Chain A
Amino acid sequence: MERIFTMPEAMKPEQTLYCPGCGHGIAHRLVAELVDEFGIRDRTIGIAPVGCSVFADKYWNFDVISAAHGRAPAVATGMKRGRPESFVICYQGDGDLAAIGTAETIHAANRGEHFVTVFVNNAIYGMTGGQMAPTTLVGQKSMTCQLGRDPAIMGYPIRVCELLKDLPGVAFMARGSVDSPKNVLKTKKYLKKAYSNVLEGKGYSFVEIVSPCPTNWGMTPVKALEWLRENMLEHYELGVFRDCDAEA
């Protein structure tokens, strides 16, 4: 019988500890599948950020470094500059990338650092128990905005792609989602473009993945996907925001 679906070599045969319905498992797998498809596992370094994906090393079957909260782009910069032949995947959540690590994110993008950033946006702090993220939607409730996010007090949800896309160092920038098989495949296509850009030395490549967090949203996995489609995709428009090849 022909085997048509297997665990990628770049994934360890482990069951993830993520909550039911979490998007990290899919995002991890997409990252790993592409590492295999490009045949770069032996020189790939992933970054496990602070947040739920701090244990990415347990799932990815390639070298991993744990960065301090928000500092992943600086660590990625040091690794890629120190060992230019390495392939660096800077995997970050919304609190990590768009709150505590905003400066590192903007400046790595602006320098056009040659690594891939995978930005998992689930509009909440997962690991610490569901606090308001920089990407929490207006009106969305969380542990630290229990009455719903009020922009007059708490500001607005940041659209990171829209914020970064015009920096000249950015070679590719897109936003996908893991809410449906169709969007998972589209997200993989974006990631593939990001990988090939970096491998071809075209520059900083960034893929945002809109992702569900049923536990901290207080929903069932199915309900969380519905909520994501109805609310998050309204504010976080999917698509390609920057493509240096298309411009050329």
Chain B
Amino acid sequence: MKSRVFYNRVGFATLLNKEIHRFMKVPVQTVLAPLISNILYMLIFGGMLQTREVGIDGISYLNFLVPGLATMGAIFAAFQNPAFSMISQKFQNTIQDLNSYPISLAEKILAFVFGGMFRGVLVGILTYVATIFFVGYEVAYPIFFVLSLTATSFVFASVGLIAGLVLDNFEKMNFALAIIITPLTYLGGVFFEVSKLPGFLANLIYLNPIFPLVNVSRYAYIGVCEGNIVIHVLLTMGLLISSFLIAAYIFKKGVGIKIV
């Protein structure tokens, strides 16, 4: 008897393939553009600030910046993939097709999340590859670095799926990106060392969910990070599980997909 959780392997693979195929059809917009932005950040911030006292002691600012940029690229790409997919399906009036497929709920959710995760990891790794020219190819823990980008992408693909289900147009999606995701990312320790922040801001940053994600990736890349890496890893796992469960709950409720 077929499992209810994993019911239609071919259907799941097709849905995942569609999510990847869709963004791979427009690589300039989905992969190249964020990559160029990250290289520009590297040139401008790295070039301007490399002689100043920013970053972790003993680590060059460019080295400090690379994992932050890779994480930031992964966050935006992973968020946008399912969010854009769901909202464009609403816009095209094809969203309810999802209800007609013999694909289980878990398979549908995983297909959207894995699609976003794949795009996030791709942008993250390409950002790293592009920065080799500036800082060399050394990574302290290469597998851990890829895993950290994977976890970050998984979290934000789940968040993107939630946004895509709850929001009904691109304007709202861009608003969420500009008002919530971007400030949290910029203030999450991508560009600077948190201990350099004044007073309460330094404490406030511990409430920012992006902070542990950046730190895990930074630890994997340069071997050191701010705070305790074990706590950051645990927080990352907590974010991973909770974001996925919330996405699954909203999907199961039929928000944005079913007519109520």
| Bound pair (A, B) | no
Binding site for B on A (CB under 8 A): none
Interface, chain B (partner A; CB < 8 A): none
